């Protein structure tokens, strides 16, 4: 019996009632309405028809909770080979989102809505299912606001003023497994509520070794426009949020990646409560154990995670952890890799004590660590009301006045006032200055700079060939940047 036939039988068994007396087929299930259309009941023996009906019902159940998102705003374009530069341009993009709360809360990708000036959400009308042709093209359009976003996880929470909306639950209690059947729903190329089917190719994938984020890998076809849409299981629960693909030609090559539901749910709860995601730091440096490391240090196991450093007077130090401790578990969950250790810290609630079980020599120890909550407060600075007014084209930057609110988010600043460089924003008349994102400009040719308007006025007086010296603050240190206007 091949895999496809086994799959059909499993799905058919889940979709039809149990057999009658003496193995005789039970009465066919009653027809169920879907989006105003009466579903056709078929005999249990017709396995393909039952499979088709099951998938139709799933799509009909899930699709109303998936929204199309239209974004108008400013974004980054390819800057060619100019290092640390970005071209800011007006953009109109389309993506997807999923309603996770009937009161209008929608999860999507942060990269879709970053820099947005207006976000519109297209909602399916009540009673609409993916198979209902009579309602095709009809939808509600609502403006959405950003409650918060988390760049590291590439997640954002939107809110629309509506209630009693169809919402999907998170399947965060049962980790997905390779081979599990899943469905991706989104708006590739603006085609609303497109449904594709595939399996989980890997339940634990780290595409970028420098980034601790892990993803679900799926071969369900995902294309541009699917970003922010859900990856659901056969029950219609969210197992992940589609976020990117690896492709040689820009289309689906069967290498799609979704943020696991457990992380999406954690970020959703944090953004809904606080508007940002607070992580904890416990003051340790952890490394993957290699066999040579285990031999040289005399560790009890040659795999897993070892604590390489414990910062003095940090939370782990106060709890009693020491360099050389081998991490066995975090919050009761086994720690098998550095990815798992990092993920456990990422998802741990910032207001709860962390439990870390370690192996020190042959002795098993358990520590309760009060982690320090941290979050990237500068992320909120990227939400510029009107980027065009914040541009200084000849310096090739997008800036922000350093007022009291901004300064409170930059605790390392030594001098009040100035202009914070948010992004390099290259234009045709920009000169290479050496400025980087995060720099604060305090003066231009010894003239104090306190605002964007002041900086623009000073730059406007410069002529081609003039020498320019900027006094900047970079990571708490002052330095000069010298260049000539072109």
Distance of CA 239 to the CA centre of its chain: 14
Long-range contacts of 434-437 (CB under 8 A, 24+ apart): 434/481, 434/483, 435/395, 435/396, 435/397, 435/470, 435/472, 435/481, 436/84, 436/474, 437/84
Beta-carbon-side half-sphere exposure of residue 383 (alpha carbons within 13 Å): 16
Residues linked to residue 106 through DSSP beta bridges, in sequence order: 99, 158
Contact 260, 200 (CB under 8 A): no
Cα 131 from Cα 32, distance rounded (Å):
13
State whether residue 425 is helix, strand or coil.
coil
Phi (first) and psi of residue 2, to 5 degrees: -80, 170
Alpha helices in 298-358 (DSSP H): 315-319, 338-347
Q: How far apart are CA 330 and CA 366, in angstroms?
A: 10
* CB environment 159-189: b (16+ within 10 A), e (fewer): bbeeeebbbbebbbeeebeeebbbbbbbbbe
Q: How far is CA 478 from the centre of its chain?
A: 34
Going by C-alpha positions, the residue among 185, 192, 165, 160 that lies closest to residue 94 is 192
Helix 47-62, helix 3-15: angle, nearest 10: 70
Residue 404: Cβ-neighbour burial (10 angstroms; 0-12, 13-18, 19+): exposed
DSSP three-state, residue 256: strand
Whole-number Å distance between alpha carbons of 29 and 60:
18
CB 463 within 8 A of CB 485: yes
Is 71:225 a contact under the CB 8 Å cutoff?
no
Bridge partners, residue 276, by sequence: none
The number of residues in the chain equals 486
The answer to whether the beta carbons of residues 162 and 104 sit under 8 Å apart is yes
Q: Which residues are catalytic?
A: 111, 154, 227
Distance CA 209, CA 217 (A): 16
Spatial separation of the C-alpha atoms in residues 435 and 80, rounded to whole Å: 17
Q: How far is CA 304 from CA 213, 241, 365, in A?
A: 18, 28, 16
């Amino acid at each position: 019996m091949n895999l496809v036939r086994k799959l059909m039988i499993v799905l058919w068994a889940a979709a039809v009632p149990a057999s009658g007396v003496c193995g005789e087929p039970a009465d066919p299930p009653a027809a169920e309405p879907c989006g105003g259309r009466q579903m056709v009941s078929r005999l249990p023996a017709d396995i393909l028809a039952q499979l088709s009906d099951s998938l139709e019902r799933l799509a009909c159940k899930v699709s109303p909770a998936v929204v199309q998102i239209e974004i108008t705003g400013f974004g980054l374009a390819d800057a060619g080979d100019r290092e640390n530069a970005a071209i800011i341009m007006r953009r109109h993009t389309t993506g997807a989102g999923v309603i996770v709360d009937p009161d209008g809360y929608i999860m999507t990708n942060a990269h879709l809505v970053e820099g947005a000036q207006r976000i519109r959400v297209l909602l399916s009308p009540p009673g609409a299912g993916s198979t209902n042709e009579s309602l095709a093209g009809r939808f509600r359009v609502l403006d959405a606001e950003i409650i918060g976003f988390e760049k590291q996880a590439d997640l954002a929470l939107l809110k629309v003023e509506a209630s009693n909306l169809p919402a999907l639950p998170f399947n965060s209690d049962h980790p997905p497994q390779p081979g599990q059947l899943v469905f991706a729903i989104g708006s590739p190329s603006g085609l609303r509520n497109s449904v594709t089917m595939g399996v989980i190719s890997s339940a634990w994938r780290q595409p970028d070794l420098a980034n601790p984020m892990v993803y679900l890998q799926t071969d369900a076809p995902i294309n541009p426009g699917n970003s922010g849409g859900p990856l659901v299981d056969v029950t219609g629960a969210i197992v992940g949020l589609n976020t990117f693909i690896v492709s040689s030609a820009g289309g689906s090559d069967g290498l799609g990646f979704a943020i696991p539901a457990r992380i999406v749910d954690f970020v959703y709860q944090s953004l809904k409560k606080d508007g940002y995601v607070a992580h904890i730091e416990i003051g340790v440096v952890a490394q993957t154990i290699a066999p040579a490391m285990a031999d040289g240090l005399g560790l009890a196991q040659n795999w897993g995670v070892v604590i390489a450093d414990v910062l003095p007077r940090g939370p782990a130090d106060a709890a009693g952890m020491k360099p050389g401790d081998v991490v066995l578990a975090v919050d009761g969950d086994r720690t098998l890799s550095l990815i798992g250790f990092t993920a456990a810290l990422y998802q741990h609630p910032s207001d709860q004590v962390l439990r870390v079980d370690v192996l020190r020599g042959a002795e098993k120890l358990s520590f309760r660590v009060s982690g320090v909550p941290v979050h990237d407060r500068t992320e909120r600075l990227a939400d510029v009301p009107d980027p065009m007014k914040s541009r200084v084209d000849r310096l090739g930057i997008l800036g922000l006045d350093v007022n009291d609110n901004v300064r409170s988010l930059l605790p390392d600043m030594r001098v009040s006032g100035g202009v914070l460089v948010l992004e390099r924003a290259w234009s045709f008349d920009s000169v290479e200055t050496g400025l980087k994102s995060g720099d604060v400009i305090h003066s231009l040719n010894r003239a104090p700079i306190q605002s964007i308007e002041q900086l623009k006025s000073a730059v406007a007086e410069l002529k081609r060939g003039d020498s320019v010296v900027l006094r900047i603050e970079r990571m708490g240190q002052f330095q000069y940047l010298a260049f000539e206007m072109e």
